[in-house]
């Protein structure tokens, strides 16, 4: 086996590579911000004001990043998440501004309600026999309305993340009925009830006021259930399937490739924060660990990697060329 491990031959037989075309950068736009606000638990990441976001996107495009995933933090929240589909809402404004300034940047918008509800859950809440919980069917109507508003603003891809039963079918039908047949859907099809989302909840101001999300996100113990979730979304018309988080769930990235759709994997806020914290202590080499983590996600079968390291990784890729 060592014959092909010689330094001269290694590049000829390397099986997987990370390219800039693999990377998607998540970004937060905050309606209440006047200047970029550092996110304490995610060093190097910011909540951007609407104006400052365009400059950040331009910088990413210059580095060669082809796509962003956009999250909005509104000035006002309410139980019905009405700001999520407001034509003048923060995400809708941001999409229009980015498209005008950076027309060749692919814009993906997160379609959910957790940043927009005053209770922090991902849709409409109803009281059932075991207390308050997500009302699946009423929330489907909300997601459809949000997705159409994003498409109308100019989003290239909408990404429903609420893990509702039937969410892809509802969004696809709404988009088609509104004339947005070319707007693609990247479904958070295999999204776990993970402990790795903590920093994101600070970043997006999306912490929940009661309960948890275990009734609509997947138990980390359940691999077969996770595969079925992606199978159903593929049947409902998803264009891209996603596994979230990425690093702890590479078996699922590999498992859902059989559906023949592009696969996205989301290296989430907790994964980012752990690497940053260890690197900050000098315990690991940040660049090497980041690039190894991305390479392993790619090796498992991801076509797209959503990562807060996208901008840094693009620079490191340039260094290797």
> How does pLDDT run across 241-268, given as a tens digit for each residue?
999 999 999 999 999 999 999 999 999 9
For the chain, what percent of residues have pLDDT higher than 90? 80
Q: What CATH number is given to the structural domain containing 141?
A: 3.20.20.70
d(CA 228, CA 191): 12
Residue 169 maps to a domain: yes
Residue 72 maps to a domain: yes
C-alpha separations of 153 from 43, 48, 95, 146 in Å: 31, 19, 6, 11
pLDDT one-digit tens code per residue, 78-122: 988 899 999 999 999 999 999 999 999 999 999 998 888 887 777
Q: Which two tokens stand for residue 231?
A: 């199978």
Residue 42 maps to a domain: yes
Residue 287 maps to a domain: no
For the chain, what percent of residues have pLDDT higher than 70? 97
Q: Average pLDDT in the 198-218 region? A: 71
Residue 261 maps to a domain: no
Residue 213: pLDDT over 80: no
Place of tokens 């001269």: 8
Residue 229 maps to a domain: yes
d(CA 184, CA 175): 9
pTM of this structure? 0.94
Residue 130: pLDDT over 90: no
Catalytic residue among 63, 77, 244, 298: 244
Q: What is the DSSP string of 172-205?
A: HHHHHHTT-TT-EEEEEEEEB--GGGHHHHHHHT
Catalytic residue among 63, 77, 191, 298: 191
Residue 223 maps to a domain: yes
| Residue 239, helix vs strand vs coil | coil
Dihedral, CA atoms, 140, 198, 58, 105, nearest 10 degrees? Answer: -30
- Are 112 and 174 in contact by the 8 Å Cβ rule? The answer is no
Residue 318 maps to a domain: no
Domain count of the chain? Answer: 1
* 191 assigned to active site: yes
Q: What is the DSSP letter of 218?
A: B
Residue 209: pLDDT over 60: no
Predicted pLDDT at 206: 63
Query: What range defines the domain where residue 77 resides?
Result: 2-242
228: Cβ contacts below 8 Å, ≥ 6 apart: none
Place of tokens 């264009």: 239
Dihedral, CA atoms, 115, 118, 121, 126, nearest 10 degrees? Answer: -150
Predicted pLDDT at 243: 98
| Residue 55, helix vs strand vs coil | helix
- Are 153 and 96 in contact by the 8 Å Cβ rule? The answer is yes
d(CA 246, CA 266): 5
* 63 assigned to active site: no
Predicted pLDDT at 202: 78
pLDDT one-digit tens code per residue, 274-314: 999 999 999 999 999 999 999 999 999 999 999 999 999 99
């Amino acid at each position: 086996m060592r014959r092909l491990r010689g330094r001269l031959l290694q590049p000829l037989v390397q099986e997987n590579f990370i390219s800039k075309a693999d990377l998607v950068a998540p970004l937060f736009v905050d309606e209440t911000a006047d200047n970029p606000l550092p996110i304490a638990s995610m060093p190097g990441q910011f909540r951007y004001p609407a104006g400052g976001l365009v400059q950040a996107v331009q910088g990413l495009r210059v580095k060669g990043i082809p796509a962003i995933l956009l999250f909005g933090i509104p000035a006002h929240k309410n139980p019905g998440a009405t700001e999520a589909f407001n034509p003048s809402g923060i995400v809708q404004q941001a999409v229009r501004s980015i498209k005008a300034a950076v027309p060749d940047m692919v814009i993906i918008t997160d379609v959910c309600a957790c940043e927009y509800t005053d209770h922090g859950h991902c849709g409409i809440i109803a009281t059932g026999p075991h207390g308050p919980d997500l009302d699946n069917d009423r929330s489907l109507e909300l997601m459809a309305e949000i997705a159409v508003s994003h498409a109308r603003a100019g989003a290239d891809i909408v990404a429903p993340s609420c893990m509702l039963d039937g969410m892809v079918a509802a969004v696809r039908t709404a988009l088609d009925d509104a004339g947005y047949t070319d707007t693609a859907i990247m479904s958070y099809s295999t999204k776990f009830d993970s402990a790795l989302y903590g920093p994101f909840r600070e970043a997006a101001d999306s912490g929940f006021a009661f309960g948890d999300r275990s009734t609509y996100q997947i138990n980390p113990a359940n691999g077969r259930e996770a595969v079925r979730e992606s199978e159903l979304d593929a049947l409902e018309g998803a264009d891209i399937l996603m596994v979230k988080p990425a690093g702890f769930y590479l078996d699922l990235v590999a498992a859902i490739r059989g559906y023949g759709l592009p696969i996205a994997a989301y290296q989430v806020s907790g994964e980012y924060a752990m690497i940053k914290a260890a690197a900050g202590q000098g315990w690991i080499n940040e660049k090497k660990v980041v690039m190894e983590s991305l390479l392993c996600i790619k090796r498992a079968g991801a076509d797209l990697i959503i990562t807060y390291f996208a901008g840094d990784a693009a620079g490191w890729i340039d260094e290797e060329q």
